Structure 1
Amino acid sequence: MTSIAVTTAERPPAPSTALIDRVSVAVLVDGAPVKPVVRELADGVKALDVSAAEGAAVEIRLATPLQDAVGYWHPDAGWQRSLPPDWAGRLKAGLVHGSAIGCLYETSGQTLLAFAAEDATAETHLVFGVSEQRKLFAVHLELTAGREPFTVLFAGRSPSPAAALRLLRRRLVGAAKLPPLALPEAGRTPAYSTWYAFGQEVTSDGVAQEAERAAALGCGLLILDDGWQRGGRERGYAWAGDWRVDTAKFPDLAGHVRDVQGLGMAYMVWIAPLLLGPDSPEWQRLSTCARIPSPTAPGAHVLDPREPRVRAHVLEVCTRLVADHGLDGLKLDFLDDATVYTDDGGAPVGPAMALLLRDLRATLVALCPRGPLVELRQPYLGPGMSAYGNLLRATDCPADATANRICTIDAALCATGGAVHSDMLMWDPDATAEAAARQIQSVLHAVPQLSCSLSELSPEHGEVVRFWLRQWQRLRPVLLDGEVEPGRPDELYPSCGPTPATPRWSSRTPNAPYR
């Protein structure tokens, strides 16, 4: 073992040892170096196991020579896909925000370092970037030890980040405590979402008419977004909490759902069960469990999932909504807001969210005879969430075809189950046919979600939608079950440009890990 400083002067040197390829590792527990324990697995994958007393501070330092490195990818990279300095690369990862996964690669696309932590619930701080002093690329994982060893998986040098991440995903599936949530057929069909088409101005008749048009186009799923609930008539979330139907808009939601299902479409409803606003009937009962305002939902506070009362409330409102109205599933929003409680000195948030979502999974499986559809969105759709959701949606990027393409590929690179869905597709009704087509072309490698007003489509735009959805249906086995090599992340996946590259055929079953 030698002593190297794997970052700048903010970290003192620590003894390190060779790990895989040219990657070295140092492990510290409560600041004291410990000998790494490494296991050899199949396919050139190695596992690093760190055991420590519960509550101990664990630090795992990884470093590799820069060589010809050009980019570092992680699930929360956004538009920063090059090489940050190590004083700038920072990430907090947990079950409902990001993942402790990363990949360093060179000009050819070959990987220099590819890793993934097995325990998605562990709240992990990552420090990463180029060490100016040592001419290395370093990654530090910092966490508090739990009851079980913390394991990090490493893929050997691979021809591309996609290839390395495929190896790691297979291992993550095998190590998971719960299998991925099974994916009903409706989750593999084009979807129609009301959000960009209607906003909050949804009504039973208006949605039913659009559902007929969507079904005729081949959509097998309808997602009723924000606006169906009491209070959902204005932006902001001060009303959130009781999740009761606005009967002025939906006099008979259960009957409406049955009618849409009669068209051959599954039916999901949007809900943000961790939000609580001061105008909600539930505020007086639960406000002491919602101490911190939401950073993303104006007017609402965030319910603390560590509180048993909160978990019981979430289960009650979700169960009631599905059972009373015959729904096929839920679109779960704002789950990442739970991270506001991560650093408050209390118990960890990740295990509490896992407990809540495990119970919700069991409830929905019992309620939905064909299997539940559960939509999650970036940034809470890492490998640990595949047990709790099966529609893995790109983050909001309205009318941004480039962002939709990149976000869906990012999601696919770390998805261990379900199907990746695009953000909802919309465009200018007066735009050219080519502009409309570009929105659909950008997400052909995922499940497209339409959210334009179908009743207002021009004949030309209508033909564009029909043509591209027919092509998607024809190629669906390859597009959803094949293996795609999208190219370098820092080049924004050039192999999946406006006309996607043809993926290699895979005999993977529909509910096996996505790509």
Structure 2
Amino acid sequence: MCSMMKRTIEIREEGVPEELLVVRKSWEEGGVRFLSWSFRAERETVFPPMRVHIAVPARGIHYRWTPKLHLIKALNSDWFENLYETSGFTGAPVECLIAQDNKNCAVIALSDTLHTIGLKSIPVEETAQYDVEIALFDREAYRGLEYSVAVRVDTRPLPYYEALADTAKWWETIPGNEPAVVPEAAREIMYSTWYSYHQNVDEKTLFAQAELAKELGCGSLLLDDGWQTEDTGRGYAYCGDWKPAPSKFPDMAGFVKRMHDIGMGVIPWYSVPFIGERSENFQRFKDMLIDPDAEREWHVLDPRYPEVREFLIGIYEKALLDWDLDGFKLDFVDEFVVTPFGGREEDERRDCTSFTEAADRLMKDCMARLKSHKADIMLEFRQTYNGPRMRSFGNIFRAVDCPFDDAENHVRVTDLRLIAGESAVHSDMLMWDREDTAAGAALQMIQILFSVPQLSMRLEELPREHKEMLAYYCGLWKRYKKAFLEGSFEPLNPQCRYNVIMGRAGEQLACTYHSRELVSVRQPAREMVFVNGTGREGLLLRLGSGKTVYKMTVRECTGGLLSSGLLTDDGGILTVPVPAGGTVELIEDGSDFSIHKS
């Protein structure tokens, strides 16, 4: 367990040049320590690479969490590559060191959520400390007169997920990170065309699919890649013109209106930075690329050109106004800052030198223009560009693609939620084998119930049991939506891929469990649901409610009733026969415990 003793951290600097004026400060607020550095030069200069090391006693530290680790939560050794880079467009500047009992040992987070920063953390054998290295001005040069950064070091022995939630709230107070408003439509189940149709989309087929999706509770259609090209060979060679393919969508505005008439929004996909060599616009921008020599048929536009930024913003603004869209799925935004630069070294047409600052300006201007026309517009971004800076632009953050992989989807949406605040977190699009059992298919839903589901199966082709399963779980999700999305969020045991997750809102509690272990509820609610994602029958449950009687309903994955009756809790361990993929709902009965006990 993480010791209750206050941790003494050590600070060390590397590479700070003598000619820079440096002001260092340290203070404490609410049990959290803050460190800040302000660097100032006599004249505008390119700041050299610098390092700050924060050494934390390794006492009690067993696991490590960052926004970009996904399945791996283990500590690493110094002979492995540990450095990960974060900026406004990839990851987030935070590291969390966790004890075995889910308590926080140290959350180290930075105030600079825009510029590229390297983070590297390793156990140090010689000192039995955990060293967190912060690399400034390494990946991308920073030019200016001054630079300031604060580091927030939280060693309070809170549950790690509460410490990370507090970090997200701190980021929200920093100018430039104010979260975008999240419309209610962003928290409704959505239907995505990607896995179900890929680029083989057309308005007649999708309208029929949307009608079926609407019956399941879907509120919007995510119109993915393919609407803008006659090509169906994947890749992005035709990106850049963004005109509906005539054979697929001869009347996009008419299609959107028909969708609105049945209560479905439309959110088309755009690969923001990509321009393909087969697009009409390629010749116009072929000398404004980050990677002109890339050995593929598409390239990344350079946002440091004002003409590039205005072109992209104009594309989205025109589509919004012409078609009355409900939002945009903006893909590959991280390519602006992760693609190695191979373009023109100097060009007077650019109005800034920094890729991150130019991309930030693009997104700010774009969001301002779009929201001036539609304040409640939905904007989906994909992991890993889901940090605090991106939350000021987008209001939907989707798990990065992991087709079929329910376990990965589970981990990714959970990683997103830990620092997402009130932003809407969506699953990757759900797909499965139609020949699978209903219980096997149900795992795709069970694993992502603590996010907004995105469905991507051809609904009319599903076997009857799969349709029943999907209808049941969509209904369950809507019934317990507040507990799944809006209340407290407790993902336990990140080293075990978050094998138990609980959420509470008001009188509701929802829990999914993914391994055969005792599920302990610290504070039971009047109404509770437990969802079996283990693949085996049975739930071991300790409610801790004391002498209480519950009405119990056990259902299989299709919603079929298996049993109902009364469950009496005397504070001990309860065994409930919940089938694989099934659920048990407990509602406080309010009758006399002593009668039922006898």
TM-score by length of 2: 0.77
Runs (5+) with no aligned partner, structure 1: 1-19, 507-515
Deviations for 1:185-206, whole angstroms, at most 9, x for unmatched residues?
1111101001011110000000
Who is 1:208 aligned against? Answer: 207
Correspondence list, 1:381-420, <5 A = 381-420=386-425
Who is 2:426 aligned against? Answer: 421
**1:237 CA displacement:** 1.1
Deviations for 1:236-278, whole angstroms, at most 9, x for unmatched residues?
1111111111011001011101111111122100001210111
Q: 2:77 aligns with which of 82, 85, 88?
A: 85
**Residues 503 and 412 (structure 1), Cα distance of their counterparts in 2 relative to 1, 3 Å cut:** farther
Question: 110-119 or 471-480: which moved more?
Answer: 110-119
The yes-or-no answer on 1:46 pairing with 2:20 is no
**1:404 CA displacement:** 0.6
Who is 1:73 aligned against? Answer: 65
Who is 1:264 aligned against? Answer: 263
Who is 1:438 aligned against? Answer: 443
Correspondence list, 1:426-505, <5 A = 426-496=431-501, 499=513
The yes-or-no answer on 1:59 pairing with 2:57 is no
Q: 2:362 aligns with which of 352, 356, 362?
A: 356
**Residues 122 and 99 (structure 1), Cα distance of their counterparts in 2 relative to 1, 3 Å cut:** same
**1:123 CA displacement:** 0.8
Q: Is the 8 A contact 1:190 1:449 kept in 2?
A: yes
Secondary structure of the residue aligned to 2:39 is coil
**Residues 174 and 340 (structure 1), Cα distance of their counterparts in 2 relative to 1, 3 Å cut:** closer
Secondary structure of the residue aligned to 2:322 is helix
Deviations for 1:145-178, whole angstroms, at most 9, x for unmatched residues?
6644212222232333211101111111112325
Q: 2:303 aligns with which of 302, 305, 308?
A: 305
How many angstroms apart in 1 are the aligned matches of 2:522 and 2:198? 35
How many angstroms apart in 2 are the aligned matches of 1:343 and 1:413? 32
Who is 1:5 aligned against? Answer: none
Correspondence list, 1:9-20, <5 A = none
Q: 1:365 aligns with which of 352, 371, 377?
A: 371
Who is 1:25 aligned against? Answer: 11
Who is 1:11 aligned against? Answer: none
Runs (5+) with no aligned partner, structure 2: 1-5, 347-352, 502-510, 526-598
How many angstroms apart in 1 are the aligned matches of 2:394 and 2:200? 27
Who is 1:124 aligned against? Answer: 117
Who is 1:115 aligned against? Answer: 108
Who is 2:561 aligned against? Answer: none
**Residues 414 and 342 (structure 1), Cα distance of their counterparts in 2 relative to 1, 3 Å cut:** farther
**1:131 CA displacement:** 1.8
Q: Is the 8 A contact 1:96 1:335 kept in 2?
A: yes
**1:231 CA displacement:** 4.7
The yes-or-no answer on 1:182 pairing with 2:170 is no
**1:132 CA displacement:** 2.8
How many angstroms apart in 2 are the aligned matches of 1:328 and 1:226? 17
Q: Is the 8 A contact 1:218 1:469 kept in 2?
A: yes
**1:127 CA displacement:** 2.0
Correspondence list, 1:170-319, <5 A = 170-292=169-291, 299-319=297-317
How many angstroms apart in 1 are the aligned matches of 2:153 and 2:16? 24
More strand by share: 2
Who is 1:339 aligned against? Answer: 337
How many angstroms apart in 1 are the aligned matches of 2:186 and 2:500? 26
**1:354 CA displacement:** 1.2
Who is 1:4 aligned against? Answer: none
Who is 2:324 aligned against? Answer: 326
Bigger CA radius of gyration: 2
Deviations for 1:436-461, whole angstroms, at most 9, x for unmatched residues?
11100111100000011111111111
Structure of higher RCO (CA pairs closer than 8 Å, 6+ residues apart)? 1
**1:367 CA displacement:** 2.2
Which amino acid in structure 1 is aligned with residue 238 of structure 2? W
Secondary structure of the residue aligned to 1:92 is strand
Question: 241-250 or 147-156: which moved more?
Answer: 147-156
Who is 1:166 aligned against? Answer: 165
How many angstroms apart in 2 are the aligned matches of 1:463 and 1:45? 50
How many angstroms apart in 2 are the aligned matches of 1:255 and 1:294? 40
Question: 137-146 or 243-252: which moved more?
Answer: 137-146
Who is 2:96 aligned against? Answer: 103
**Residues 192 and 503 (structure 1), Cα distance of their counterparts in 2 relative to 1, 3 Å cut:** farther
**1:35 CA displacement:** 7.0
**Residues 193 and 337 (structure 1), Cα distance of their counterparts in 2 relative to 1, 3 Å cut:** same
How many angstroms apart in 1 are the aligned matches of 2:128 and 2:470? 51
Which amino acid in structure 1 is aligned with residue 206 of structure 2? V
Deviations for 1:470-510, whole angstroms, at most 9, x for unmatched residues?
1100111111111221123222112238548889899xxxx
TM-score by length of 1: 0.89
Deviations for 1:63-90, whole angstroms, at most 9, x for unmatched residues?
1122232111100112331111134211
Secondary structure of the residue aligned to 1:211 is helix
Secondary structure of the residue aligned to 2:286 is helix
Q: Is the 8 A contact 1:445 1:480 kept in 2?
A: yes
Secondary structure of the residue aligned to 1:53 is strand
More helix by share: 1
Q: Is the 8 A contact 2:176 2:389 kept in 1?
A: no
Q: Is the 8 A contact 2:102 2:159 kept in 1?
A: yes
Who is 2:544 aligned against? Answer: none
Question: 193-202 or 409-418: which moved more?
Answer: 409-418
**1:41 CA displacement:** 2.3
Q: Is the 8 A contact 2:24 2:37 kept in 1?
A: yes
Q: Is the 8 A contact 2:290 2:341 kept in 1?
A: no
Which amino acid in structure 2 is aligned with residue 41 of structure 1? E
Question: 108-117 or 141-150: which moved more?
Answer: 141-150
How many angstroms apart in 2 are the aligned matches of 1:182 and 1:349? 26
**Residues 48 and 367 (structure 1), Cα distance of their counterparts in 2 relative to 1, 3 Å cut:** same
**1:28 CA displacement:** 4.5
How many angstroms apart in 2 are the aligned matches of 1:307 and 1:152? 33
Secondary structure of the residue aligned to 2:191 is strand
Superposed CA RMSD in Å reads 2.4
- What is the count of residue pairs matched by the alignment? 484
